[in-house]
Amino acid sequence: MKYRMLGGSGLRISEIGLGCMSIPAVDVDAGMRIIHRAIDLGINYIDTADIYDKGLNETLVGNALKGKRESVVLATKVGNQWKNDGSGLKWNPHKDHIISAVEKSLQRLQTDYIDVYQLHGGTIEDPIDETIEAFELLVREGKIRHYGISSIRPNVIREYVKRSNIVSVMMQYSLADRRPEEEMLELLEQNNIGVLARGSLAQGILTGKTAKQYLGHSADDIANAAAVVHKLSNESGASNPFSKKRTSVQTAIRYVLQHSAVAAAIVGVSRLEQLEEIAVTSDIDPLKEQELRLLESSITALKFKEHR
């Protein structure tokens, strides 16, 4: 496993991060095995959120990290809040909620501090300074070490870059969603803010699932990109002109890791077999320039049209 610095945090994190949302809540033992195996494979970035399985995901992570806490960089998120009747979520970026929510997350995670506490969304209408004030207070109190945001909204990201001390931005980024390349990745790299890329497999449509419309791309666009990913991999009889031993899943993730702004690809897994395949990606050679150009030419890079 290779490691990269997460922005200006001083935290050295694995290129592959474990996204815990997909870990099955109904099988605690299976979930524990996934987390333990991830750590054995060198994955030290563990990502969850307070709303996943209404807090049960954090509880699972906390139980799995007993005796292992110091070996991982633990991240969770705040901002969404379950309604009292459990019927859905409401958005709450206010200071009092963040201060209250962190105590519950610390308890469920069975830890005294969170390494990276992330705002789980955000809009330009939020009381951004109040939200930042809450995070800064938690840093001073030692309850969190650093904070970041999870957002794909350019206007929100720019405000946090200007007004806060975020060390990371988690955003959707894949060969099928190249919008961050247009403007966000360079901005964040220039400001020493690490990118945590999620959705690098584009719901599997780049790596074996039936192609479908995705964002502004047609099913044919996606099928073409998936075909190139497959061509540049060695699986199921595919002939890779560059003779690289690599699956389509690994090729898709390597595309994301190729950009220097990206600190890690955060990938969700629900089975041990998936974890084994994904973790090995870090040890595979980077894409050659010719491979990168072929992938880029397989699908148009769209631009962010909303939240300007």
Domains parsed from the chain with CATH numbers: 3-201+253-286 (3.20.20.100)
Across the range 80-108, mean pLDDT stands at: 93
End-to-end CA distance of the chain: 37
Chain segment 231-261, per-residue pLDDT in tens: 999 765 556 666 568 999 999 999 999 999 9
pTM of the model: 0.95
How far apart, in whole angstroms, are the C-alpha atoms of residue 153 and residue 304?
8
Question: DSSP letters of 104-143?
Answer: HHHHHHT-S-EEEEEE----TTS-HHHHHHHHHHHHHHTS
- Residues 6 or more apart whose Cβ sits within 8 Å of residue 236: none
Average pLDDT over the chain reads 94
pLDDT tens-digit profile of 192-241? Answer: 999 999 999 999 999 989 999 999 999 999 999 999 999 999 765 556 66
What amino acid positions are annotated as catalytic residues? 52
Q: Alpha-carbon dihedral of residues 226, 230, 233, 238, nearest 10 degrees?
A: 180
Residues 65-92: tens digit of each pLDDT: 999 999 999 999 999 988 888 788 999 9
How would residue 14 be classed by pLDDT, with cut points 50, 70 and 90? very high
| Cβ contact 278:257 at 8 Å | no
Higher pLDDT, 86 or 184: 184
Phi (first) and psi of residue 81, to 5 degrees = -140, 130
Query: 96 pLDDT exceeds 60?
Result: yes
pLDDT at 88: 87
- Could you count the other beta carbons within 10 Å of the beta carbon of residue 147? 27
For helices 248-257 and 219-231, give the axis angle rounded to 10 degrees: 100
pLDDT, position 243:
58
